[in-house]
Chain A
Amino acid sequence: DIQMTQSPSTLSASVGDRVTITCRASQSISSWLAWYQQKPGKAPKFLIYKASTLESGVPSRFSGSGSGTEFTLTISSLQPDDFATYYCQQYNSYPITFGQGTRLEIK
């Protein structure tokens, strides 16, 4: 199975900050990586696919990059609504695997 490791596990930041979350795969997954945002008690929300393509309706302050084994999710200017937990997911092969999550909290 492909292991997905996110860092950091928790990130403290302020409104207006630029933040970056890293996701590493245990083997190459090409660009088959997705990012999700989850708020407490809610289902994950789909943000990005194929490492860098923004899903329709997702604000442009979100961006993704990377290929192979290392990927990043960047939020260019944090908004109050962005404080949540973020997960990466590889879909290069089954079983689908997720990172352990990065909790983005208000500083």
Chain B
Amino acid sequence: QVQLVESGGGVVQPGRSLRLSCVASGFTSSGHPMHWVRQTPGKGLEWVAVISYDGNRQYYADTVKGRFTISRDNSKNTLYLQMNSLRVEDTAVYYCARGVYSSGWSDALDIWGQGTMVIVSS
């Protein structure tokens, strides 16, 4: 069964760090770009970051650039999101998603994890 499972969410104080993980199963994640997308409670979807299939290229939303780092370990079929200098406004459910049907620049997202909640609060 093709699936993504996130972990690592929790409650953290502003300014602190957290690392999210996303384990892929049922497919070889090294064949796909992988994304993080977040959703504020009761609000819409915000794309966060993408990493190329080989890990050599990353792109970030301006709201997280310089604070978040996306990485992957293809030997473990695992995607990561290192989140530093967390802010209250980073509070959200974080989803990892598989990129497919590339436009040559970006992707549609066909498989999503169940999400992991991050709460940034003092």
Contacts and interface: CB of A to CB of B under 8 A. Distances in A.
B35 A96 contact: yes
B109 A34 contact: yes
B44 A94 contact: no
Interface residues of B, number: 26
Q: Is chain A's binding surface mostly helix, strand, loop or mixed?
A: loop
Interface in A43-61: 43-46, 49-50, 55
Contacts of A36: 45, 109
Given A95-B59, A96-B35, A55 B105 contact: no
A100 interface: yes
Contacts of B112: 43-46
A44 B106 CA distance: 18
B103 A32 contact: yes
Interface residues of A, number: 25
A95 B108 contact: no
A11 to B, nearest CB: 16
B45 A95 contact: no
A93 B50 CA distance: 12
B83 to A, nearest CB: 17
Given A95-B47, A95-B59, A101-B44, A43 B107 contact: no
Interface of B: 35, 37, 44-47, 50, 59, 61-62, 95, 100-103, 105-115
Interface of A: 30, 32, 34, 36, 42-46, 49-50, 55, 87, 89, 91-101
